[in-house]
Structure 1
Amino acid sequence: MSRQLQRPKQAFKNTILRWLRVLSEKQSSDAGDVPESFDRRGLATAWLGLAGGLWFMRVVARNRFVFPAPDPSYGPQSYRRHLCWIPWNPVLSPDKARDTSLQDGIPCLWFPAPKAATVILFFHANAEDLGMSFAILKHMRDQFKVNVLAAEYPGYGLLHHVEPSEDGVCEVALTTFRFLVDILGVRYSQIVLFGRSLGSGPAVFLASQFPVGGLILVSAFSSIRAAVQSIAGRLFAMAFQERFPNHKTISNVSCSTLFIHGESDGLIPVEHSVKLFKRCRARKLLVTPPEMEHNSNLFGDASFLAIPAIHFFGFPGYYTSTPPRLPASMFETPDRRVRLASQVQEGTVRPFLCDCLAKRDQHTLDAGFARQADGVDNITICLYKDTSDEVELVGEEAKERLRRKTEGKLLEKQAMGKSHVQADGDVGAGEAEEPLQQELASVHLEMPEFPEHTEDPPPL
């Protein structure tokens, strides 16, 4: 969570503690010990204020407290080689698949690694979106040499118009996970789930349901209510329902699990990861860097993430000649995909070569091919100057090449005949060469005539 959000939370926490201190003094003191400034009206005001605050947090602002999404830090045109759109699964999300406002799909960031079979499915922390996680995702791909896919949450980034909720976050996580398995053909054992802070909720949820290859939890919490209790106290946490019960689902995780939690974390204490570590029954490792805070750069110090992850999971893992690759059409912006579909339906798409060389203005139709992602070979178009001299030169070279080939075969045939004649009648070399010269002279090479280009080629 950002530090800007911690200040109002601290002020609200101080107000709650002040009210509780007054109430405790009232209950523990006699009537004669009550301060003169404190009367029944003040007590009623304190109780009403406390009840109103709890009602407001439980009914109105609970999602804003749990999902404090910042303003979008990226747009549809950002990160053109990495921003992709995964469609909603009609089986898992039939309502969202039919919703026209969500027809674009789930915005994700994809970082492919050459020949890598492993895929890290990343879930970012609270109070940030994919744009704020871009640097760490790219560094993760470069450091571990594996593919990295990160999905956006409802209410964050380009999904800011969707109401955030626990079910919505898990729905996005499950949709992207099934896309890797069902569409890209990635094996369960080749997927490593990565959850940071709030992202530990969907990461533990998936790891408890599927036999994935590994799980990495950074600054994880045991549950939302426990995290709120660590921030604002037990009474304040009573206003929140239990969400992301990691302390219950972690016992169903069977894959290797790496816990990383800084001892200097002032937002979520390290005791949360210690509790999860004790309840986890799989192969596990707990790392608690002393200088690591809640929002520390994970690659600012190699002891935070790089060294433990490489030693624990053995990154980069397996290599393959067919690494997972996303279809190029998924990297197109939603507006352009709609234009391409309408142009194909109307039959107004120009030839491929004209689309490549056309000027990019508002009157130009979109090219009939999609933008390529990282790791995909680019299309190269070679243009040659079409002149009659070059065509004639090509024809002469072809004639000469065929003449040499034919002459070699005749020489080989004549040599075999000469050896036979010398063995029988001891004929001289002059007599043997004369039939060869006659046979070569009788060879007639028929080559197709190349038409002469008298007109300039049509403009591209």
Structure 2
Amino acid sequence: RKPAENKDRYTIVYSHSNGMDLGPWFRYLRRLGKRCESNVFAYEYSGYGLSGGRPSERNLYADIESVVKTLVCDKHMNCKRIILLGESIGSVPSIHLASSISMAGVILKAPLMSGIRTMFDYSGNTWTFDPFPNIELISKVDCPILIIHGTEDEVIDISHGISLYKRCRHPVSPLWVSGRNHSTLRLDEQFFPRIQLFITEIENFHKNQSIKV
């Protein structure tokens, strides 16, 4: 969905989960935009849906970089008006980009610590060959971060969300949703209200930052 021509609104860049394309998610994204009074820019990774190319870690990063470049250069948006929303594997490009470019904020829904940690219960140092090293990059993100995770997540255990939360530089109160799993998290009645509140928290954060400067 193209962002509306309203530069006063935030634009939410949505990075989807693995094994899906955006077709079935249109109603969810539309509701997200309405509830949060924000533009929503959703895209598909290389090799997903109608997108060409091949899925890879490198392309995952290149895809979101291209999206934000389009918003900044073609739509003349400020990065401080862009919120990154990464779901599951979508947390990977979101954290990667926000670790090097200061955004308005980042929302992580059922995020992962790293690729290997999704397969093994491993708490040591991150190996150099471990893909998707979110746990090493998240402390470099210089904007508010909201983490939402279900207590019954059967794909990415909630321990991933908790560990990432502990390493955030600017965390807000997370939302640990009791009884929700990987696919039902967004259906919880707390989901949209918490994101709405986060937008207010973003506004307050950046106002305070301006005062400090």
Amino acid at match of 1:212: M
Is 1:247–2:138 an aligned residue pair? no
1:211 maps to which residue? 102
SS at match of 1:176: helix
Match of 2:49 in 1: 157
Give, in whole Å, the separation in 2 of the partners of 1:183 and 1:112.
Answer: 13
Deviations 1:139-164 (A, max 9, x none): 111111110001110110012x5221
Equivalent residue for 2:197? 311
Map of 2:189 onto structure 1 = 302
**C-alpha separation in 2, matches of 1:301 and 1:164:** 31
Distance verdict in 2 for CA 1:283–1:272, change over 3 Å: closer
Alignment equivalent of 2:85, drawn from 166, 176, 194? 194
TM-score by length of 1: 0.41
Aligned counterparts of 2:154 and 2:91: Cα–Cα separation in 1 = 18
Verify: 1:181 aligned to 2:72, yes or no: yes
User: What residue is the counterpart of 1:136 in the other structure?
Assistant: 28
Q: Secondary structure at the match of 1:133?
A: helix
Q: Please state if 1:273 is matched with 2:161.
A: yes
For 2:7 and 2:80, locate their aligned partners in 1 and report how far apart those are by CA, in whole Å. 16
- Whole-angstrom distance in 1 between the partners of 2:183 and 2:60: 21
Please give the per-residue CA displacement for 1:69-101, whole angstroms capped at 9, x wherever unaligned.
xxxxxxxxxxxxxxxxxxxxxxxxxxxxxxxxx
Please give the TM-score of this superposition, normalised by the length of structure 2.
0.86
Bigger relative contact order (CA 8 A; separation at least 6): 2
| Unpaired runs of at least 5, structure 1 | 1-108, 318-460
Matched to 2:192, the amino acid is A
Return the letter of the residue paired with 2:101. F
Cα RMSD over matched residues? 2.4
1:126 is matched with 18
| Higher Cα radius of gyration | 1
Report what 1:168 is aligned to: 59
Equivalent-residue separation in structure 1 for 2:70 and 2:96 (angstroms):
17
Cα 1:252/1:115, change in 2 over 3 Å: closer
| Total equivalences in the alignment | 200
* Cα distance, 1:283–1:113 mapped onto 2, change above 3 Å: farther
Cα distance in 2 for residues equivalent to 1:131 and 1:316: 30
Where 1:193 maps in the other structure, the secondary structure is strand
1:225 and 1:270 map into 2 onto residues whose CA distance is 15
Matched, 1:261 2:149: yes
Which is richer in helix? 1
**CA 1:116 to 1:292, structure 2 compared with 1: closer, same or farther past 3 Å?**
farther
Runs of 4 or more above 2 Å deviation: 109-117
> Which structure 2 residues correspond to residues 49-448 of structure 1 after superposition, within 5 A?
109-110=1-2, 112=4, 116-159=8-51, 161-229=52-120, 241-296=129-184, 298=186, 300-303=187-190, 305-314=191-200
More strand by share: 2
Contact 2:149/2:185, CA 8 A, preserved across alignment: no
2:207 is matched with which residue? none
Measure the CA separation in 2 of the matches of 1:113 and 1:137.
Answer: 17
Go from structure 1 to structure 2 and tell me whether the alpha carbon gap of 1:114 and 1:316 turns closer, same or farther (over 3 Å shift): farther
Contact kept? 2:3, 2:39, Cα under 8 Å: yes
Q: 1:156 to 1:210 in 2, by over 3 A?
A: same
Alpha-carbon deviations, 1:263-311, whole Å to 9, x = none? 011111100011101111113321101022101151x2221x2121112
What is the CA–CA distance in structure 2 between the aligned matches of 1:283 and 1:294, rounded to whole Å? 22
Give yes or no for contact 1:123–1:203 (8 Å, CA) kept in 2: yes
CA distance in 1, matches of 2:165, 2:5: 31
Runs of 5+ consecutive residues of structure 2 not aligned to the other structure: 204-213
Decide whether the 8 Å contact of 2:16 with 2:86 is kept in 1. yes
Tell me the secondary structure at the aligned position of residue 314 of structure 1. helix
SS at match of 1:179: helix
